[in-house]
Amino acid sequence: MKKMINMRGILLTLVVAMVVPFCFQACQLSQKDKDVLKEEALGIPRLVSFGSDLCLPCKMMEPVREELIRDYEGKLLVEYVNVTFDRERTSRYGVIVIPVLVYFDKEGWEFHRSTGFSSKEEILKVFSDRGMPLD
């Protein structure tokens, strides 16, 4: 029993050590970061998905992203950022929880964020409600 409690403590410590650095990132983007993101605009709406291999809801988003990539090629740019390996982009976007979806219009302006699992239909509705139907 003591060994099991000790292993839980070690596991909890490892998880906290991985997550805490992300929790102290600023939520607001600087003007410089906003300018960089705007320069990345390609003339089509963009969805940036932040997640990790250690996050179950993040893993559940993978088939949704793949379907969006397949069904909306040329109409929607879908990107995935693994927060474990790409801390620079994670910090630049001000991500502090995962999974998070960041929505951009075709000019590169962020207009919406959502946390947790989102279905394909929910994602398409966000774009449609903003006057950017993808169908």
Name the residues annotated as catalytic: 55, 58
Residue 117 phi/psi, 5-degree rounding, is: -70, 140
Structural tokens at position 17: 């050590």
Cα torsion angle, 85, 106, 113, 30, sign: positive
Cβ atoms of residues 12 and 43 within 8 Å: no
Question: What is the DSSP secondary-structure string of 7-50?
Answer: HHHHHHHHHHHHHHHHHTS-SSPPHHHHHHHHHT--SS-EEEEE
